[in-house]
Structures are given as C-alpha cells and as structure tokens.
Amino acid sequence: MQHQLFVEIKGHRGRIPPTVGDIANYLLLKPHSTVELIDRAEAAGMVIRTSDPDDGRLVRVMLTEQGDKVLNKLTQAHLARLHDLAAVLDELVASASRKNGAPR
C-alpha cells in the first residue's frame, strides 16, 4: 500500500500536491484508513503534510527526498518482478497451445 501511496503522490495531476481526500479516492480507501497510512509514511520520513495555502481545512501530502528514492527503488523492483511473471505467463500460454495442438 505504501508503494501505491507514493505513486499517487508522485503522479498526482496538477501543480499542487494531493489532499488526503484525493489519495483516499485514488486508493479506494476510507479517509481514516488513508490517514493511518500517511501517518506511518510520515513517521518513517517518507512524506510530509502541509496546509493548503488557499484553504486551511485541507491537508496536502508530499513525498520527501527519501520517499522519492524509496519509490524509485520499489518501482524498479516491481517492474523486474512483472517481467519475471510475464515470462512465466508466456511459457504457460505456449505450453497450453502445444497441448491443444494450436500453432503459436
């Protein structure tokens, strides 16, 4: 979930960081669950919260430099794993095709 949190923050559209509500909507979580996730990430030094300059009721969330580094490492690891899984799936499809006599 932290990886998805970091992806939402980094990939948020617009010129200003996402709000807690934006993140909750993206992650399909209830706001209090999102706050708990952000609390843990903040305690680990991965994100910081700031008040919205135009609306003090809103809290915006940004990645720290450390959070950005962790996101890059996690993304590389996830991509490598996806490539591994793609190779396994390709072999399963090829095997099933051979068993069914279908040309590849």
Report how far residue 10's alpha carbon sits from residue 22's, in angstroms, rounded to the nearest whole number. Answer: 13
Task: Tell me the per-residue pLDDT of 50-103, one tens digit each, with 9 for 90 and over.
Answer: 999 899 999 999 999 999 999 999 989 888 899 889 988 888 898 888 888 766
Better-scored residue on pLDDT, 93 or 41: 41
Domain 2-100 has CATH 1.10.10.10: yes
Domain positions in the chain are 2-100
pTM of the model: 0.75
Distances in Å between the Cα of 34 and the Cα atoms of 21, 43, 48, 93, 98 are: 8, 14, 14, 39, 47
